[in-house]
């Protein structure tokens, strides 16, 4: 795949970065990568949970100058989301 699609959610507080990411993921093809930029420190846990519950893959998380970046690969369209309760 090419460059990731970038979603700038800087300045937004929970739950807005995740809600905007969820909407942006709908427009990505399966296997596409979304890079979310956020400044809310709670976004780290929020995106970990988002990926666990949706089946998307959190590829990387990094921080530079107070901006967090999350690279998320959209799950294949034929893969059901994983259940956080499954063994």
- Active site residues per annotation: 14
CA 38 and chain centroid, separation: 11
Q: How many angstroms separate the Cα of 79 from the Cα of each of 5, 26, 44, 54, 58? A: 21, 15, 24, 10, 16
C-alpha to C-alpha distance for 30 and 78, rounded to whole angstroms: 9
Q: Beta-carbon neighbour count of residue 20 at 10 Å?
A: 16
């Amino acid at each position: 795949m090419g460059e990731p699609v970038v979603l700038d959610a800087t300045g937004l507080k929970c739950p807005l970065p995740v809600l905007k990411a969820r909407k942006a993921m709908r427009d990505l093809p399966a296997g596409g990568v979304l890079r979310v930029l956020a400044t809310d420190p709670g976004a780290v846990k929020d995106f970990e949970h988002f990926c666990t519950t949706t089946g998307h893959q959190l590829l990387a998380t990094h921080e530079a100058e107070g901006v967090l970046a999350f690279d998320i690969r959209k799950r294949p369209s034929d893969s059901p989301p994983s259940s956080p309760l499954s063994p």
